[in-house]
Amino acid sequence: MQTSSQLDALRARIHELKDLGGIIGLLNWDQETYLPDKAGPARAAQLSTLQGLYHQRLVAPEVGEWLELAEREAAAADDRSMLRVFRHERDRAVKVPERLVRALAEAQSDGLAGWREARAARRFAPFQPALERLLALRREQADAIGHGGERYDALLDHYEPGMTTARLLPVLERLRASLVPLVERLDGTLDGADPFAGQTFDPEVQWRFTVELLGLLGFDLQAGRQDRSIHPFTGGTHPTDVRLTTRIDAANPCPALFGTLHECGHGLYEQGFLPEHHRTPLAAAPSMGLHESQSRLWENLIGRSLPFWRFLYPRLQAAFPAALGRVPLESFHRAINRVRRSPIRVEADEVTYNLHIVLRTTLELRLLRGDLAVADLPEAWNAAMVATLGIRPRDDVEGVLQDIHWAWGELGYFPTYSLGNLYAASLLHAAERALPALWSDVERGQLGTLREWLRREVHQQGFRTSAEDRVRTITGQGLTDADFLEYLRAKYRALTGRVLTTSS
Ligand code: ZN
């Protein structure tokens, strides 16, 4: 066979796998949004079957042969990148037996059901057996993939290719050491009347506002949609079918506003892949950390900035005249940037947020290493919250049950949020240098300036290189906390009038 036909055969299989992945994505999205309660077990079986099929079609021996021949002959840079990414995924998959893939898929669905039941009961116990099963399977998976003695590395690599526990832990420890004193200095400094207290924000008006927000940021609603879910996320089947969800709280507009901004950041990334990369592994972020950099950038660095709200706040006031009509912009801006020790990660401010991540990463690492029993997890969580943030959750819903990740058996995902925060600050810093009009454009609601820059520099690059290499190309340096800490200090210096010079 000619090499070109090997590459063609491989490309056809790659397209097929992407299609299967899209269908799995649709079923997952549906499970989180509209699936009737009684259909849970049936959906678990459907997902397990599809994931098994995906696995078979990926690891099939002929694919290995096509891949080897294609690697020898592929000349175009994008083809070589595509083969490298595909090789990485396939090599990992080949090592994992199909039995384990199916068992994991079933355990994930059971985990989700157990987590839901536990949340309804407001205690951890109903979730414990499912999490124990997931943990056992993840250990088995990590051993099958292989690692140098740290199982967490094998799992981390799935979300953040190239990252290791040994490299990650010092980054998180430095962040913790810088942030704890900063929280100490800032906690309470922005307190004042809560502009949202005692107010009602019509859910339908909130919904319409979030849809307008999507339009303002440039999310293409002809190539995606937004729905509601308990735990907002971004999913979908293809860059032309990107599905966001948001959560609406009638007592407070922030979950919907910042949830939508966050997921929209993910959605813009997905919609921004080059059409020629569609249905290939290049139409993907090179890491979840880089994906998170896009969501956090829009949610926080832009979405909680004063210029952004100089433009948008009159519109928000017009949407909620009774609640916000007499609240000045400055009060609103302070309220959405208040630093507070709070139990819920997704509602945490930018200063305390990474402390929530350090806590989760430490706990899941201990679980995986066997240093912590699942039965002891809720108390370990509460003790860590007291030690890190000085607060104790009222119950397990406010504590260990708040995130969906462990219900899906996602171990190694959490640290990507912190990496995303660090990358976001470095990318914004580079954008400010490249785009002198950035902030004056934001203030006029012209968000396309930044979006198109991100599109060129990040989205359209897809998975051509690693996340850190892409960031290094754009910013001149790899992973660093310097830009993030400087961003926080400058922001809170302006908000509080205090000079914040904790060592970094
Ligand atoms: Zn996110």
Alpha-carbon gap, residue 408 to 403, rounded angstroms? 10
**Crossing angle (nearest 10°) for helices 467-475 and 415-434:** 20
pLDDT digits (tens, 9 = 90+) for 168-209: 999 999 999 999 999 999 988 888 878 999 999 999 999 999
Paired strand residues for 249:
252
Q: Which of 228, 221, 274, 224 is nearest to 248 (CA)?
A: 228
Q: What's the DSSP call for residue 83?
A: H
How far away, in angstroms, is 233 Cα from ligand 1 center? 7
How far away, in angstroms, is 296 Cα from ligand 1 center? 7
Residues in the chain: 504
Secondary structure (3-state) at 245:
strand
pLDDT value, residue 140? 98
Residue 84 corresponds to which tokens in the numbers above? 């490298």
How far away, in angstroms, is 23 Cα from ligand 1 center? 21
How far away, in angstroms, is 66 Cα from ligand 1 center? 35
- Alpha carbon separation from 297 to 79, 259, 485 (Å, rounded): 30, 12, 14
How far away, in angstroms, is 259 Cα from ligand 1 center? 9
Ranges of the chain whose pLDDT falls below 70: 1-4, 501-504
Residue type, 140: E
Alpha-carbon gap, residue 399 to 377, rounded angstroms? 10
pLDDT value, residue 190? 85
- HSE-CB of 73 using CA atoms within 13 angstroms: 15
How far away, in angstroms, is 232 Cα from ligand 1 center? 9
Q: Is the Cβ–Cβ distance between 271 and 283 less than 8 Å?
A: no
Paired strand residues for 241:
238
Secondary structure (3-state) at 205:
helix
pLDDT value, residue 98? 84
Q: Is the Cβ–Cβ distance between 134 and 108 less than 8 Å?
A: yes
Global pTM reads 0.95
Residues with a known catalytic role: 263
pLDDT value, residue 501? 65
User: What is the DSSP code string of 344-372?
Assistant: -GGG--TTTHHHHHHHHHHHHHHHHHTSS
Alpha-carbon gap, residue 165 to 3, rounded angstroms? 39
Alpha-carbon gap, residue 493 to 504, rounded angstroms? 16
Q: Which of 252, 247, 258 is nearest to 300 (CA)?
A: 258
